[in-house]
Amino acid sequence: MPPLSEVTIYLRGLWLLFLGNKEGLRLLDISDRGLLRSFYAALWCLPSMALSWYWWHEAYLSGLPEGVHTGAIFFIRLAIVEAICWMVPLILIGVLLYAFGARGKFQAIIVVANWLSVPFSYAYSVLILIALLLPSLHGLVAILWFALLLTLVFTFSRIVRFFVRDQPLLVTALVMTLLVPGMILSELLQRFLGVYPT
């Protein structure tokens, strides 16, 4: 797994690209090896994922009779949902790039999407902590959650424009493909696997 020092370099690269500085590209490994290593981002996100699963577990239990427990299978099912919702958008991005004749950009876009998930995953975990510790701020958390989503959309689209120049339609399609299928799949799979709060 890439050490923190390496991940920090990747995140700095993303930040420079966000600022429009092409030097950021030197800090990202978009080779075949870099593409595969970018999936270690999922492991780096595990602590924040675990917190979100705990929060979801508590929300699920709140709709059940007192004393009812779920067991480890609940978290296994959430992990399955997470894995599918991580991979499917990336596969669809590959299909989209191929359809637009931009398959040469696949590795760069996937590397960006994977490593960009790390800071946003932890940002969401901060909101989850606030929701858990200060339930009275639920309304504020919802607003911040939406603001963070808009920030993700803006950040990803700005970085993607660096690789896909003069194709605003493709940029929009990539952003939508990264976000929308995962949102839809997440709810469908959670309901199908019986881990959706009632």
From first to last of its 198 residues, the chain has per-residue pLDDT tens of 899 999 999 999 999 999 999 999 999 999 999 999 999 999 999 999 999 999 999 888 887 777 677 889 999 999 999 999 999 999 999 999 999 999 899 999 999 999 999 999 999 999 999 999 998 888 999 999 999 999 999 999 999 998 988 788 999 999 999 999 999 999 999 999 999 987
Decide: helix, strand or coil at residue 93: helix
Decide: helix, strand or coil at residue 165: coil
Question: CA-CA distances (angstroms) from residue 180 to 80, 90, 170, 195, 197?
Answer: 18, 12, 15, 20, 21
In contact, 81 and 132? CB cutoff 8 Å: no
pLDDT at 34: 95
Of 138, 115, 117, nearest in space to 128 by CA: 138
In contact, 175 and 89? CB cutoff 8 Å: no
